[in-house]
Amino acid sequence: MIIQRELTLDDYIAILRRRLWIIVVPAVVFGIAAYTMSLFLASRYTSQTVVLVEEPAVPESLVKPVIGGDANQRLATMQEQILSRTRLQQIIEKFGLYTDETRRKSMEDVVAQLRKSITVSPVRAMAETRASGLPGFTVSVVASEAYTAQQICTEITSFFMQQNVLIRERRAEDTTQFITKQLTESKRKLDEQDSKLAAFQRRYMGELPDQMQTNFSLLTGLSSQLEATSQALNRAQQDKIFVQSALDQPVAKTSAAVLVDPDILQKQLANLQGQLAALQAQYTEAHPDVRRLKKDIAQLQRKIEEQAVNHSSPQAADPEKEVVADGPRVQQLRAQLYQINRTIQDKTAEQSRIQQEISKLQGKLQLTPAISQEYKALTRDYQTAVNVYNDLLKKQSDSEMATDLERRQQGEQFRVLDPPSLPQKPTYPNRPFFGVGGFIGGLAFGLGIVFVIEAQDTTFRTERDVERLLKLPTLAMVPLLNVPKGSRNRARSTVPDSPPTVISETAS
């Protein structure tokens, strides 16, 4: 009846007094039973070691390591490699583990059982230290014997140390070989680009974009030279006309005909014909200088013919009538004319040469935009190849230093902080824990029984129970009489048990 209302502390104390043995006995029995059962369980010993991850001996700012990535991921990878079937089978055969199990189970099941007994857990980094790295990890091994657990833990730890060194050296060497291969390929491409650029420069020598300003300067200088040469040629031609007119003037003659040396006339004719050929190469037939030279040549040819006729006549044979045709002044004029003709020839040739050079420079300048576009493409490809080559060359140097660092074992290394421990007592079963657990379980079981008993109990124990049931106020209660034990037993045999008489007032 007490469960049907709100309980107070006094109610709980009363229940505890009435049902104390129901609570205590199961707790004691369960505790003793659990402890006794733990005595028959096979003992398990745990050997544990702590491995620290040491930073490289050389700072990363000087030698950048080639092995990057998450340290936890590398640890997980090593764990899978070390706890592989091949490695664990070697440990089982080396230490003679699970002799009885190997007769009844397959090797895969035995290896799986050993793998479950090995635990590798990373150590959490403090916030002030290597928050982004792996400060270390622990290796725990559970075995049926303490010495066996220590041996297995030592072997697993040794595997981690060796595997770390092997993986780091192998990755460093593979990285160096890969970069070296890429560097060789980059050098080949750079040589190809260099050859293309050199061939292009040889092919378009003088027409490259960086020579454009030089070509402009040369063109300006040649234009000035052409103008000066043209002016000198014009002056020479004017001087020639003046001298030629002086020679063409009539000379005082004797009564006899004036005779001129035929060789001189032939030389004059040859000079005039040479000048005509030079002018015809530059000008048309309608040019005044060409027409004038043709007229002079025609006059000179007639003169040569007339002199030849006079020389063959009888009068020409008379030595008394023959006079010297050329005086000192005429000879001086002819020498001056010869020199002027030479100057005209030189200036004409120089003018032609300068014009050809100007035409070449103008052609180069016209081709410069198209050549510049192709040259920029070749230069860009060449510069890209140079940058790639230099970058790979630097990476190869860094990789070689990092590889040498790993070979000397001065990079990131594993160091055993505490050697694998030799357990002095088993970690399983924890007999005190079993006893306490059994006691708590028995206590809970006893409390459950008390709850069930109290829920089914309909006894009125307090006036509140009566008032709750009858919903009437209680006037008085008849207390229990202190009857001797013997008399109480006789009374119980004659009078049936009944609750105490309760006198209550009926609502009017």
104-113 tens-digit pLDDT: 888 888 888 8
Element (DSSP H or E) covering residue 340 = helix 328-407
Q: Which residue has the higher pLDDT, 354 or 43?
A: 354
**pLDDT band at 508, cuts 50/70/90?**
very low
What digits encode the pLDDT tens for the residues 81-90? 888 888 888 8
- Count CA atoms closer than 13 A to 70's CA, side-chain side: 5
Q: Is the pLDDT of residue 489 over 60?
A: no
Comparing CA positions, the residue from 310, 276, 278 lying closest to residue 295 is: 276
Residue 117 CB burial class (10 angstroms; 0-12, 13-18, ≥19): middle
CB burial readout 270-294, b (16+ within 10 A) else e: ebbeebbebbeeeeeeeeebbebbb
- Please tell me the predicted confidence (pLDDT) of residue 505: 43
- DSSP label at residue 205: T
Contacts of 181 (CB under 8 A, 6+ apart): none
Token pair 């307090």 in the structure block, residue: 462
Residue of 289, 49, 309, 5 whose CA lies nearest to 155: 49
Q: Is the dihedral of CA 194, 196, 197, 199 positive or negative?
A: positive
The C-alpha atoms of residue 413 and residue 161 are separated, in whole angstroms, by 8
- Each residue's pLDDT tens digit, 269-328: 777 777 777 777 666 777 777 777 788 788 777 777 777 776 655 444 444 444 444 567
Q: Identify whether the C-beta of residue 427 lies closer than 8 Å to the C-beta of residue 142.
A: yes
Contact 389, 187 (CB under 8 A): yes
Task: Extract the tokens encoding 358.
Answer: 């100007």
- C-alpha to C-alpha distance for 242 and 16, rounded to whole angstroms: 157
Q: Is the Cβ–Cβ distance between 392 and 176 less than 8 Å?
A: no
pLDDT beyond 60 at 329:
yes
Segment holding 52, helix H or strand E = strand 45-54
- Judge whether 416 and 49 are in contact, CB under 8 Å: yes
What pLDDT does 466 receive? 67
